[in-house]
Amino acid sequence: MDENVTNTKKPFIAPWSIFIISFVFIVFVLWLSHISLIASFTDLLEGVTAYNLSMFVRRAWQFDCRIGGMLIFPFFIISLFFCKSERLQKKLSKFFKFTVSLFTCMTVILAVVEIGYFKEYNDRFNFWVFNFLFDDQKAILSTIRKSYNLLGTSAILVPVSVGLIFFYRKLVSKVTLEKHRSALAMAVFSLLIGIFLIVAARGSASRRPLQQIDVAITGNKFLNKCVPNAYYAMYFAWKDFLHSNDIRCIQKLCSREHMQAALMLLGSPTEDVDKFISRTANGAKLSRKPKHIFLIVMESQDNWPFLPENNELNLYPNLARLAKEGLYFKNFVPTGQGTMSAIAVQMCNYPNMGFLINCSENGLKNCDLSVGTLFQRLGYGTNFYYAGYLSWQRVDRFAPIHGFQHCYGGDLMGTYEGNEWGVNDKDLFAFIEGNFSPNTDSFNLILTASNHPPYSVDLVAEGVPLEHIAKFVDGQKKVKYLGHAWYADRCVGNFIGAIEKLTDDAIFVITGDHFSRKHRRSQFSLFDEWTVPLIIYGKNFNGELKEYSAHAGSQVDIVRTIIELVAEKDFRYASFGKDLLSDDEICEGYCMEVTITDKYIVTNDNKNIGMISDSPTLVGENERERAISRNRAWQTLSKWKFFHF
């Protein structure tokens, strides 16, 4: 009986002060990460007003409060169960301080990594982070090691982390556990702290918590990207990645009703997707059918160096000549932001549908769209040349399934010389030239690799005009990036010249797998950011075809355009693309993220628009929305076909 009486007199023990001080410290550390990111890219703050900054501060603070609230709330709940035990509360507080210290270290690491990531992708952590799960992990890690000074980075990370942890420990070292004799006082304080942490964890006191849609508030694109902290940027990227790769979810979004609505929107006379994409060739547009077709997909090939304002830079002297003598489509976009989406569309003829086709069961089946099979039917032997390892993205399985009879990887072409992604373009093209048989009809799909991090080509030894390039760029590091673009241009130009000495019966189709995310300037337009070139060149071209070069398109249009160039009349095939050398279809190019016409380019959320330079008038929002709707309709039909063939 005496023991129970004694227990009732024990005070209530609570670590509220430690929690509150830690909350402030957590938000402070997150703010340091915001500041470090913004300070690294101050050139992107041009035109930012005090109002923009005030909106940024408010919304970023809300996201940071969410992290602080969610980190502390579980410890708060556990502490309520230990409110009668000073010994357990001390152990909990010790573990909590360790957790905050670990969080501090992780935040510093993420802040440094994010700066490097933003330099490469012009974005916070996005779904590309998680493509590491499917890509060549060894090559990625080696690229990071060679591209970034890890020793120097560690020299920053360690002292900053230690300094912040020491500062935090100093803050909480003299804070003791609180003792409340009154149950009412304990209940009131617990309720207030609990409400505070719940509101903080929600980021809002309103009916709904802070969400991803609340990010774009500042009126400045760069500041909007900086609003969520690194943890939320990673969380949003993970959500996007799961959504884009959830096959069951994608299947639900392309039901028969969706398919029929898409066909109706596109004006289809049939309710059968296979019939709608069935094509009949109109007859070859060239004076004679070429014996050889080279489809060259160049790593990180930008379109902006072709534009008149960049003529003095002269980054692509060889490609510029080919574009002038052949056909050059400037209003052209990739199917997505990655290499695999670009190479997949040239192998299986599906546009980018938002997931990795090569990792899907249906993607590993030959069908009526398979590009290699189509060109075999046209009488060509089919070859795939890749500067890297064929095990990358399972192309060693993917390419043969879609009709490529012979596949050659970089392991046959020479040494990798510091670039784990593949041999230098010079070695790649030398191998193809050595393997070329002028008398055997061939369709050749080529994927280069030199213009890719860690940018390991010895530019001085290769005679790249670095001093000339340096005159036109913002920042010395860009000289290295653009120097590799110049090198890639010379290699492809030399290769085409070598093939032309062996045969005058070949056409060359050249495009980029995606934009490089590099530009001579820090600020650039939506058009400069997204477009890649498409060049079609050959000796026996009809000059009248040049009138079509203003047409807009995307990579899904390439195969159909080639077929219509070379196929005999009434050749039957299937394609989701359009013939860029015809006026019979709507002049639009479709990408997962943007839609382009001969007048404008617009993001598929209809929020950002860029006018094409020679477009005389603005375009209404309704017209843009109709173009975006057609883009989505084609996506729906592609998914329906993919899951139902």
pLDDT in tens, 530-565: 999 999 999 877 667 888 999 999 999 999 999 999
Average pLDDT over residues 33-60: 88
Query: For the segment 132-157, what is each residue's pLDDT rounded down to a tens digit?
Result: 555 555 665 566 666 666 566 667 77
Q: Average pLDDT for residues 467-477, to the nearest whole number? A: 86
Band of residue 575 on the pLDDT scale cut at 50, 70, 90 = very high
Most confident of 46-50, 217-221, 508-512, 586-590: 508-512
Report CA torsion sign: 432, 433, 438, 444: positive
- Is 430 found in the same domain as 294? yes
Same domain, 18 and 144: yes
597/586 Cα distance (integer angstroms) = 9
Alpha-helical (H) ranges within 41-85 are 50-81
| 297/373 same-domain check | yes
- Quick: pLDDT tens for 250-278: 655 678 888 999 999 999 999 999 999 99
What would the DSSP string read from start to end of 343-384? HHHHHH-PPP-SS-GGGSTGGGS--TT-HHHHHHHTT-EEEE
Token pair belonging to 446: 């080529």
Least confident of 216-225, 385-394, 602-611: 216-225
Burial readout 272-306 (b: 16 or more C-beta within 10 A, e: otherwise): ebeebbebebeebbeeebbbbbbbbbbbbbbbbbb
Domain extent for 195: 9-244
Mark whether 78 and 127 lie in a shared domain. Answer: yes
pLDDT (0 to 100) of residue 315 = 96
- Predicted confidence (pLDDT) per residue in 1-26, tens digit: 444 444 455 777 778 888 999 999 99
User: Does 634 map to a domain?
Assistant: no
pLDDT tens digits, residue range 81-104?
887 788 888 899 899 999 999 999
pLDDT of the residue at 89: 85
pLDDT digits (tens, 9 = 90+) for 110-129: 888 888 788 777 778 876 67
pLDDT score of 128: 66
pLDDT of residue 3: 43
Q: Give pLDDT, residue 532.
A: 97
In a domain, 254, yes or no: no
Task: For the chain, give the percent of residues with pLDDT over 90.
Answer: 52
Closest CA to 287 of 584, 565, 571: 565
Distance between CA 45 and CA 221 in Å, rounded? 9
Higher pLDDT: 396 or 447? It is: 447
User: What is the mean predicted confidence (pLDDT) over 620-637?
Assistant: 91
Within a domain: residue 594?
Answer: no
Query: Which of the four pLDDT bands, split at 50, 70 and 90, describes residue 246?
Result: low
- On whether both 173 and 109 belong to a single domain, the answer is yes
Residues 299, 447 contacting (CB under 8 angstroms): yes
d(CA 490, CA 446): 16
Taking residues 489-517, report their average pLDDT. Answer: 95
Of the candidates 167, 69, 152, the residue with the CA atom closest to the CA atom of residue 115: 152
- What's residue 513's pLDDT? 94
State whether 292 and 182 are in the same domain: no
In a domain, 345, yes or no: yes
**Whether residues 173 and 299 fall in one domain:** no
**Domain for residue 612, yes or no?**
no
Q: Who has greater pLDDT, 401 or 336?
A: 401
Classify 294 as helix, strand or coil. strand
322: domain CATH number? 3.40.720.10
105 inside domain: yes
Residue 560 shares a structural domain with residue 492: yes
Do you find a cis peptide bond into 15, omega within 30 degrees of 0?
Answer: no
Average pLDDT score over residue span 150-165: 77
Q: Which residues contact 601 (CB under 8 A, 6 or more apart)?
A: 331, 333, 526, 527, 530, 531, 594, 595, 609, 610, 612
Residues 284 and 427 both lie in one domain: yes
The residue among 196, 223, 244 that closes a domain is: 244
Contact predicate 294/446, CB 8 Å: yes
User: Does residue 186 fall inside a structural domain?
Assistant: yes
* The domain boundary residue, chosen from 585, 600, 634: 585
**374 vs 171, which has greater pLDDT?**
374
b/e map of 431-451 (b: 16 or more CB within 10 Å)? Answer: bbeeebeeeebbbbbbbbbbb
Point out the domain boundary residue: 537, 564, 585: 585
- Number of domains comprising the chain: 2
* Same domain assignment for residues 287 and 210: no
pLDDT of residue 141: 58
Instruction: Please tell me whether residues 435 and 567 are part of one structural domain.
Output: yes
**CB contact at 8 A, 591 and 333:** yes
pLDDT at 405: 97
CA 187 to chain centre: 50
Work out whether strand 600-603 and strand 609-611 pair parallel, antiparallel, or are unpaired.
antiparallel
Whether 464 is covered by a domain: the verdict is: yes
Residue 332: phi and psi, rounded to 5, are -135, 135
Considering the domain architecture, whether residues 539 and 424 belong to the same structural domain is answered as yes
